[in-house]
Chain A
C-alpha cells in the first residue's frame, strides 16, 4: 500500500508540473471566447467501481453469492486539444491515470478449473465444485486516448482506447465447501467442508498489459469543476496466454467517476 501511495504522490507532482506549463501558454484566440483555449488540462480524482469478470459468465459459474466492488481510488491528468474554437467542438484527449482496480467476489462453481499452489511450488490442480472466494487488488498505470465531443455548453462525451500497465498485483482467494477432483473430472475426489479451505494465488499469472475501450461523459458543475463518469472494458484476458487453469478469459469492467478540475 505504501508503494501505491508513493505512486499517487509522484503522479500528483507530475500533474502540478503540467499545470505550471499550462499557465505559461495562456493565449487569446481571435478576441472571442477568451476562456477557450486549444489545449485544456484537467486534473481528475475519482473512484473505480466494477469487477473482473468473464463475459459472458461461463456455465461453470452457478451463482454469485457476494460481490464487493471496493472503493478503488484513482488520480489522473489529461490534456485535450480542441480542433475548433467553439462550444460544440471536437477534441482529442490524452491522459495518464494511476488507478486501483479491485473487487472481492464469492461464487458457487461447478467443475471449475483450479490450481492450489504453495510457496514451495507444491501444487494441486483439478476441477473444483463448490465455493470460490476471490480477492483482487491491482493497480495500473493507464493511458486513455479519446475523442471528445461537446454536446452543449456543460456536456461532453468521449470515447476511445485505453492501454494499461499492471504495477501492483494481487489475484488470490480460497476455495471451500466443495470438492476437488484431482487432475480432472475423473480424478480422485477430496472433499473440503466446514473449516477446511485451501487458498490459491494467481497473481503471478496476471498479464502486464491490457487494452480496451473507454466511453463516458462529463458535466460542468462550476466554472472549473466537472463531474465525470467513464466506463472501461478490457478486451484481452487479464491472465497471461499460457495460463490455462482458469479456462475462460476474464475482463476488467470498471466505471470510473469523480471530479475533474479544469485549468483555464
Chain B
C-alpha cells in the first residue's frame, strides 16, 4: 500500500529543485547622485540616464573639480569618484554594474555661462539615436542648456518612430533657419493602457523626469532654470493648426477645439522650492511674475504670426538684486501643442511651430 505515495514524492522532488536561488548581482549601472563641494551650484545637478549637467556660479574654477558620485549598489566608476579633473570641457565617466554585464558611459558637464535671452532653435542633436533635443550655446559654442521635452517618454511608448514622428522635433524650414515643431501624438495601445493616450508636443526650460512620468506625470515636469536677468516680456513667432478630433484622458472624444499654449514664469528658488511642477506652476507663492498668452491669441494661424506677452508681476512681489546675482531666481518657458496636454487631453495632429523667440529684459529692450 506504500506505493500510493509515489506521485507525491515525485511532485515534492520537482518542487525541491525549483526553490528560489540567491539574489543575482545588480545589472544596473546608474549614477544615482552627484555631489560637488562648496556652494558653487546654482541648481541641483541634472542627472539623466547618460548625462549629468552641473550649473555652477560664474566664479567657479572649472579646471580643477572633483565631483563625487553615488552609484547603483555594487557598481564601480572610472575615473574614481572624487578624482580631480579639468572640466573646462565635459568629461566622460564609465560605470560598470555589480554583475559586470552592463557598462554605461556618462558625460558630465559643468556649465558656467548664464542662459541667453534669444532662442532660435538652430542647435539640435539626436538623443539615443531616436529623437531630437534642442539646446542653447554660449558665445564659444559650449552648451548652456538643453531644452526639456517629453520625447524621452514617447521613446518608450512610441515604438520605432522616426525623429520627426516624435512630439517634439526640428523644423527644417522655420521662420529663419530652423525652428521647433510640436505635434500632439497618439501613444498607441500601450499609452492607453497606462492612462496616457496622447503625448502633446512640448518644449520647456527645466527637466522631464522620465522615471516618475508614468506614476505622477504632473510632478515629472520639473520647471525652471537659473537666470540672471529680469524678463519683462516674451515675444516670438508661431503657426498653429488644431487636430481634428479632441480626446480626453480616457481616450473619449469630446466636442472641443484644441488650442496651443505658451507661458513663461519667473520665480524665486529657496531651500524648499528648487523648481515648479505641473501642480503648482501658476499658483506657488514663490512666483514673481508670469507671462502667458491670452486666450484671444491662442488661435490657429497658417502664416508665421508674432506674439508679444508682457510679464505681469504678482501682487506685492519685488525682485532682490542680490538674490538675482546669487542665481536664486529661475525661469521656465513652456510651449505646448495642446493646452491640456499635461492632463492627456487634446487632439492628435495638433501642430505648433515656433521660432525666433526672445525674452525682453532690461539690458536688451
Residues of A whose CB lies within 8 Å of any CB of B are 53-64, 110-111, 116, 118-124, 127, 151, 155, 157, 179-182, 184-194, 196-199, 215-217, 219, 229-231, 233, 253, 255, 257
**B-chain residues with CB within 8 Å of residue A63 when the two chains form the complex:** 20
Which of B101, B189, B210 makes the CB contact (< 8 A) with A188?
B210
A111 touching B24 by the CB < 8 A rule? yes
Closest-by-CB residue of B relative to A61 is B20
A198 touching B194 by the CB < 8 A rule? yes
B23 touching A191 by the CB < 8 A rule? no
Taking the closest CB of chain A, its distance from the CB of B185, in whole angstroms, is 12
A122 touching B11 by the CB < 8 A rule? no
Encode contact with A along B208-237: 1 for CB under 8 Å, 0 otherwise: 001111110000000000000000000000
Is B357 located at the chain interface by the 8 A CB criterion?
Answer: no
B49 touching A185 by the CB < 8 A rule? no
Is B17 located at the chain interface by the 8 A CB criterion?
Answer: yes
Encode contact with A along B12-42: 1 for CB under 8 Å, 0 otherwise: 0010011111111011111000000000000
Give the contacts of B29-78 with A (CB-CB under 8 A): 29-30, 49
Which of A62, A180, A190, A230 makes the CB contact (< 8 A) with B7?
A230
**B-chain residues with CB within 8 Å of residue A189 when the two chains form the complex:** 30, 49, 210-211
Is B193 located at the chain interface by the 8 A CB criterion?
Answer: yes
Closest-by-CB residue of B relative to A155 is B3
Give the contacts of B174-214 with A (CB-CB under 8 A): 188-195, 210-214
Taking the closest CB of chain A, its distance from the CB of B39, in whole angstroms, is 29
Is B156 located at the chain interface by the 8 A CB criterion?
Answer: yes
A60 touching B24 by the CB < 8 A rule? yes
The total of chain B residues at the interface (CB under 8 A) is 48
Beyond A122-B188, A186-B104, 5 extra complex contacts between A and B, CB < 8 Å: A57-B19, A57-B20, A157-B6, A189-B49, A198-B193
- The answer for the CA separation of A122 and B185 in the assembled complex, in Å, is 14
B18 touching A57 by the CB < 8 A rule? yes
Known A118-B190, A192-B214, A198-B194; contact A187-B20, beta-carbon cutoff 8 A = no
B7 touching A255 by the CB < 8 A rule? yes
Taking the closest CB of chain B, its distance from the CB of A149, in whole angstroms, is 11
A215 touching B189 by the CB < 8 A rule? no
